[in-house]
Amino acid sequence: MGPEILRDMTFDIPKRSFQFLTGPSGAGKTTLLRLLFTSLYPTRGIIRMFGRELSQIPRSELPMLRRRIGIVYQDFRLLDHLTTYENVALPLRVRGKDEASYRNDVIELLKWVGLGERINVLPAVLSGGEKQRAAIARALMDRPEILLADEPTGNVDPPMARRLLSLFLELNRLGTAVVIATHDLALMDQVDARRMILTEGRLDIYE
């Protein structure tokens, strides 16, 4: 089956917690986030999500479980032919929700991330920081209990990185557990938070 990317680790993500996941490139940060998002299954070991063992959860129930977990990808994954509003509303639209039931929520969320004036523009017009904030807003549409962010400041300048970090901290204050995968030491030094460090497939945790 090839070499193990991650091995011999035991940890939890407490409710309302804030932590950084860090380590060198290729250490397995993205793989660990995919395991937490249930888009990847472990070859051995146990993952328990919201009190249930992942291997015991029917695949038909996974979409509902994933709604409790928001994820922000490093490459944004915005659809170029949709406006900022449409990209953020997409998770609800594909589930057949009536637009009248979520329109105000989408607009308020876009204002909260600082994109109130960019609602009707296409991704090509947005800066890197604006695209990242749109991706964050989309991840928050289901009001997740956990937010996973994969290198969310990797494509922005330091001032925008600080602004994004402020958004994550405010979200955490509102009750969401946050996991930020990053190799940006300057970013991590701005917050006294738990650090989960991946090295050669193993995880060390510093509270």
Cα(186)–Cα(161) distance, integer angstroms: 10
**What would the pLDDT profile of 66-90 be if each residue is shown by its tens digit?**
999 999 988 889 999 999 999 999 9
**């959860």: which residue's tokens?**
57
Round to whole Å and give the CA distance between 46 and 140.
Answer: 27
Nearest to 128 by CA among 168, 169, 161: 161
* Gap between the Cα atoms of 73 and 79, Å rounded: 13
In this prediction, residues 132-158 reach a mean pLDDT of 91
Q: Is the pTM of this model over 0.85?
A: yes
Report pLDDT for 156.
83
Tell me what pLDDT residue 147 has: 96
pLDDT at position 87: 96
Contact 30, 150 (CB under 8 A): yes
CATH classification of 1-68+144-207 is 3.50.50.60, yes or no?
no
Domain spans in the chain, listed from the N-terminal domain onward: 1-68+144-207, 79-142
| pLDDT at residue 155, as a whole number | 79
